[in-house]
A and B are shown apart, each in its own frame.
Chain A
Amino acid sequence: MITTLFYILFLSPILGFAINGINFRKSNAMLAGIIGTSAVLISFIAGVLLFKEMLNVENKVLTVHFFNWLSVGSFNAPASFLMDPISGIMTLIITGVGSLIHIFSAGYMSHDPRPFKYFAYLNLFIFNMLLLVLGDNLLVTFVGWEGVGLCSYLLIGFWFSDEKKAAAGMKAFITNRVGDAGLLIGIFILFSQLGTVNYYELNQYATSLTMESGWFGPITLAMIFLFIGVAGKSAQIPLYVWLPDAMAGPTPVSALIHAATMVTAGVYLLIRLSPVLVLAPNAMMVVAIVGAMTALLGALVGITQWDIKKILAYSTVSQLGYMILGVGVGAFIPAFFHLMTHAFFKALMFLGSGSVIHSMHEEQDIRKMGGLAKLMPITHLTFFIGWLAIIGLPPFSGFFSKDEILFYTYASKSSSILLWIVGVIGAGCTAYYMTRLMCLTFWGESRVSKEVHPHESPISMTFPLMVLALLAAFAGLLGIPHVISEVLPGHPPNILENLLKPYVAKISKHEVTASVEWMLMLISVLVAISMAVLSYMIYVKKTFNIEAITKKISFAHKLSYNKFFVDEFYFARIINPIVLGSKALWLHIDVMFIDKITYFITDVIRTGGTHNKSLQNGNFQNYAFYMAVGIASFLIMVFAF
């Protein structure tokens, strides 16, 4: 039963991939959409059933063993899978949100010449993502890890005729490769230390180890290397650069891969290994700091962007930053919670932007939009809910998850007040630029050029929006913190926490009174609201002249507008030197040095030949002379010894 369900779970996407892939030449968007969507739907259903099964078994863990994949000597990485609450919820998110996005794509890609190819890739992505989350050892996860990277490469470069897009895909893949290299080394270290790559065994052995204080303890190193991989996949500093470019792909792809699922893989991995992670406080510190920085940086950059998708991308970066921050401070469950909520509302917003872009005929610049609210009401409504969620207004989902993280950041022993401040500032910026986005896109007077006539999208696109809107609105109720539930009637339990507690590491946090907790919530909410109001006044009411302000802080503005020149820095300092260096290597080592040596040797021999020619000058008296010299030297030798 369970095995069959697993088989269905995995095979239906791969089957969809196969079917779609085989007739990749056809261009019947409808058919392709049906095949692709149904494939994912089936696996969603299977996932749900499995989830129920899992809840029924007492230790809430299902494992299934397919076949021996890699096994040499003591090293053993079977193709076997496990479903516990963590991976279960992930599965549901992936397949659920996935199927919604498939439906959306059916509408979105209706005019595309090669829809089959598109859905094939999408299904393949779902398959790999499932591998990633369900694998019961690091290797299977790694397979999915690289697989999703591959799919994102293919999907970003889906419109490959435009070399920029192809380049963006390549950038994504290679940046991820850098991360994967780190991940590999992390795996090596873990294996060399603990002798296994299976999650449960790792976590068990970990409990027997003592906590490491230094920087170069094996676990610390392993975790830092792992975190390099995470940074690659979850777009953290310094490897986040690929994510904004990844917006080159079709918008649903951005929704699915670059907002909802793939980018959260890193967070997932860290939560999986939390029992090992907590052994390395230094590593956690690094994680936390990087997360906070990323959160802030994303938010800051988001403030000044004009491209709607770019804004969403940077907000994704910053939200991921929050999750990582949460992991870093040991708020594993909140981080996971935020992962989930973020999956909903960010997917929602991306799809919304997709619908906007679709109706604006591929126009992405928000300066050319405005006043779309009345033209496309459903999109507007759903997007509005998403907005409320992301800026963290109660009772919408974003509020609960983000505040949990911030609270832990404040309270955790392995954290500091600074991180909390950074988090709050980030939250404020988020509120600001999301509101800005809303204002410029939907509210205010229309700046839409004459030839485009925006219109509401077809049902196939709006339906997913609505579903996601509901989720975005109420998913938060899965994890109501105690302080709130105490005051609420009936004390609704924190379902998520109860579910996940046994599977993540516990970390000690300061005792904090309820009042302080309320306090913190209040602060962050207030900050969010005030910033939102501010940007509303700027962009709709025009109370302040934004140009003037920009002038005043032009430097900061330039910095933020140009994404802190990070890409430029990378090109100038890392990529170009490598390329030039390799040119030099080839020229000076291969061509000039090694080959030169061989030529030199041959030349020596040849010149010997020519000299011999000149000695051999035909005059036999000279030959006789050579003989005489030979005799002399021969005799000298005889005497010499």
Chain B
Amino acid sequence: MLLSALIFLPLVFAIVIAFCPKDKIVQPLALIFSGLLFALSMVLLFNFDPSTAAIQFAEKANWIPQLGIKYFIGIDGISLWLVILSNFLLPLVIIGSAKSVTTKIRSFYAALFILQASMVGSFLALDLILFYIFFESSLIPMAMMIGIWGGDKKIYASFKFFIYTMFGSIFMLGSIICLMLLNKTVTGSLSSDVLELYKMDIAFIDGRLFSTQTLLFLGFAIAFAIKVPMFPVHTWLPDAHVQAPTPGSVILAGVMLKMGTYGFMRFAIPLFPEASQQLSWVFSFLAVIGIIYGALVAMVQTDIKKLVAYSSVSHMGYIILGLFAFNELGMTGGLYQMLNHGLSTGALFFLVGMIYDRTHTREISAYGGLAKILPLYSIFFLVVTFSSIAVPLTNGFVGEFYILMGAFLANSVWGSLGVIGVILGATYMLWMVKKVFFGEENPGLLEHKLSDLKTSEFLVLVPIVIMIFWMGLFPNHFLQYSQKSISNLTENVSNYELTLHDKDRKELISQKNNNL
């Protein structure tokens, strides 16, 4: 029931907020709701059993038997942290958006909660069609956010975002259907239950490009690669980020991009092991290109938000690199880096938004010497910067180190090339910091009398900073939950299987009996 609550409570909240009589109470209300959700996710965490790779809290019900669609959700070490991450960011986003969203408040928070529901849903879904539904329906609220509360080129950005991603996921739909039909030829019944599909082995001729499995894999991979986004198909991201309002960018960078990498980890790789290993070099290559290219391009941006956007292209490249190392280090690093990127880039967008609300410009050249004017703000910014350039004892280092080491052990060339990104990452971030915070105060800044961080902004930043150091110092506090699942994935990729946790299985069986 817990997981369903996590998916459907936000919808209820959205409706409540949509009908909330006056705008004053909307934001506090939303905050309360989000706090509730976060509490729920904590309950989830505490009842989670880290000693197994099995699916826990599973809920299974036939939805549309004719189409073989089930309502089947469950959680394991891989999805656990992503769910918690999105529930952790939500309250912060709500606090943070008090400033940056002033018009059509009700619709905004409603959209936010709907988005939350769809994202959590896509992390929890264990039925391909269900996943696809959540995956797609997250587009609409996001596009709305960009389009209604966005910047001056918002329409273009939201169209680009929507159609780009939609285009990708179409191919996934195609291969989902193929997969189901294949499964039908084996088991005789139409079903999109992932656990069932894991068992099926799909025709794969080694050494030949475009065997069945490879094609299906590509179908999935295109969708996820666009979502991530990987190198050649990343161009929607800068526009979307730059145009989106601060909360939008935070959610987009913090959680939505993870849907792609999560998709790789949960679906693309385990469903098509041979194909993904066959093509791993392509993806590692693209990942490395993404890492270096993203960093280089970020270096020459003049718009802070664009810079951060390209930096996330680079960071997501790391994640892909780690996943396609196919060893425990790499996968763990990938998973951990998802969380890190969610925190640090999210925080960066928050910070950029805060300064944007004060000065209404994102041009780097318009800043300078902020460290004198806003010392506190600068300290937070610096800390987050260090986390995003992976300085040890911050979370970023752990993830990047695992990834690079994993990649190196898998293929020393990709690993070594990936390391270059470490240098470049430091370069562009510090360059930006230097321009924005150091040097003489920019006279333009002195006009709007800038005030340092307010309490609400503290409330947003402090938790993130705490998490940054906590995750940097004690990664095992977090990874112990995922360790089993990941090792299960890496050790037997080629015959991957997931089972239900015993208690759930008993429950489900008993439910069935009751139904009969």
Which A residues lie at the B interface, using CB under 8 A? 24-25, 67-73, 75, 139, 142-143, 146-147, 150, 153, 157, 160-163, 166-167, 170, 173-174, 177-178, 180-181, 184-185, 187-189, 191-192, 578-579, 581-583, 585-586, 589-590, 594-595, 598
Contact = CB atoms under 8 A, between A and B. Distances in A.
A351 to B, nearest CB: 27
Contacts of A146: 391-392, 397
Given A160-B439, A185-B408, 14 more contacts: A68-B476, A70-B398, A75-B329, A146-B392, A160-B371, A161-B438, A174-B423, A181-B423, A188-B404, A191-B405, A582-B296, A586-B296, A586-B297, A598-B164
Given A173-B430, A191-B405, A582 B329 contact: no
A58 to B, nearest CB: 34
B328 A73 contact: yes
B419 A185 contact: yes
Given A73-B329, A185-B408, A166 B439 contact: yes
4 cross-chain pairs, A with B, having the tightest CB-CB distances, nearest first = A166-B438, A163-B439, A582-B296, A143-B392
Interface in B128-180: 160, 164
Nearest to A180: B422
Contacts of B427: 174, 177
Interface in B384-440: 386, 391-393, 397-398, 401-402, 404-405, 408-409, 412, 415-416, 419-420, 422-423, 426-427, 430-431, 434, 437-440
A72 B399 CA distance: 12
Nearest to A178: B423
B293 A585 contact: yes
A402 B152 CA distance: 67
Interface residues of B, number: 56
A545 B508 CA distance: 99
B296 A581 contact: yes
A69 B473 contact: yes
B235 A161 contact: no
Given A188-B409, A192-B408, A161 B297 contact: no
B438 A188 contact: no
Given A70-B398, A582-B300, A585-B297, A167 B419 contact: no
B375 interface: yes
Contact of B439 (A73, A150, A161, A594): A161
B232 interface: yes
B299 interface: yes
Contacts of B483: 72
24 contacts: A67-B474, A69-B473, A72-B483, A73-B327, A73-B487, A147-B392, A150-B391, A162-B439, A163-B438, A166-B434, A170-B431, A170-B434, A173-B426, A174-B423, A177-B423, A181-B420, A184-B422, A185-B416, A188-B408, A188-B415, A578-B296, A578-B299, A583-B300, A594-B234
Given A143-B393, A177-B423, A578-B296, A184 B329 contact: no
Contacts of A75: 329, 405
Contacts of B238: 590
Contact of B375 (A24, A157, A189): A24
B371 A585 contact: no
B246 to A, nearest CB: 24
A454 B187 CA distance: 94
A72 B439 contact: no
Contact of A160 (B296, B419, B438): B438
A161 B300 contact: no
B369 interface: yes
B50 interface: no
A153 B474 CA distance: 25
Contacts of B438: 157, 160-161, 163, 166
Contacts of B160: 598
Interface string B217-242: 00000000000000011110010000
B402 A72 contact: yes
A585 B475 CA distance: 37
B256 interface: no
A72 B328 contact: yes
A595 B474 contact: no
B372 A174 contact: no
A18 to B, nearest CB: 12
Contacts of A178: 423
Contacts of B426: 173-174, 177
